[in-house]
C-alpha cells in the first residue's frame, strides 16, 4: 500500500509552487497571460485552472497525513502538466513559458513522485 511520502519536504515544495501559481493566476502577470493566450485557452475558463491548483495544493498537503492522498494528487498534477504540454505542442507555442513554466513544473512533479515514493510502489 502507498503510504505518506518518504520525502515530505519535496511534496511541500510542490504544494508551495502550485499555491504560488494559483495565487499569481488570480490576477495573472503578463507571462501567465501570454502562456494561456498562446495555447488559446479561453479566458472564460481561466478560473478553473486556479481552482485546480488550489485543490492540488490541498491534496498534497492533506496527503502528508493521510496515506495515498498525496500520491494520487501528485499523479493528477503530472497529468495536468502533461495536458498543458500537449496544449503547447498543439498550439505550436513553444516559447520560454513552455520550457520554464510548463516543463519546469512537470519536472518538479515527476521528481516529487519518484523521490517521494521511492521503494513504496
* Confidence grade of residue 109 (pLDDT, cut at 50, 70, 90): very high
DSSP string for the chain: ---S-S-HHHHHHHHHHHHHHHHHHHS--HHHHHHHHHTT--GGGHHHHHHHHHHHHHHHHHTTTSTTHHHHHHHHHHHHHHHHHHHHHHHT--SHIIIIIIHHHHHHHHHHHHHHTTTT-
pLDDT tens-digit series, residues 40-94: 999 999 999 999 999 999 999 999 999 999 999 999 999 999 999 999 999 998 8
Show me where the domains of the chain are located.
8-116
Report the predicted TM-score, pTM, of the whole model to 2 decimal places: 0.92
> How high is the mean pLDDT of the chain?
93
* Confidence grade of residue 95 (pLDDT, cut at 50, 70, 90): confident
Amino acid at each position: 500500500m502507498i503510504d505518506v511520502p518518504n520525502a515530505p519536504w519535496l511534496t511541500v515544495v510542490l504544494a508551495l509552487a502550485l499555491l504560488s501559481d494559483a495565487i499569481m493566476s488570480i490576477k495573472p502577470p503578463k507571462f501567465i497571460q501570454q502562456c494561456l493566450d498562446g495555447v488559446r485557452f479561453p479566458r472564460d475558463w481561466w478560473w478553473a485552472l486556479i481552482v485546480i491548483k488550489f485543490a492540488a495544493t490541498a491534496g498534497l498537503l492533506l496527503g502528508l497525513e493521510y496515506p495515498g492522498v498525496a500520491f494520487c494528487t501528485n499523479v493528477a498534477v503530472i497529468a495536468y502538466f502533461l495536458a498543458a504540454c500537449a496544449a503547447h505542442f498543439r498550439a505550436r507555442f513553444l516559447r520560454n513559458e513552455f520550457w520554464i513554466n510548463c516543463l519546469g513544473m512537470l519536472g518538479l512533479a515527476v521528481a516529487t513522485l519518484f523521490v517521494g515514493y521511492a521503494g513504496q510502489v
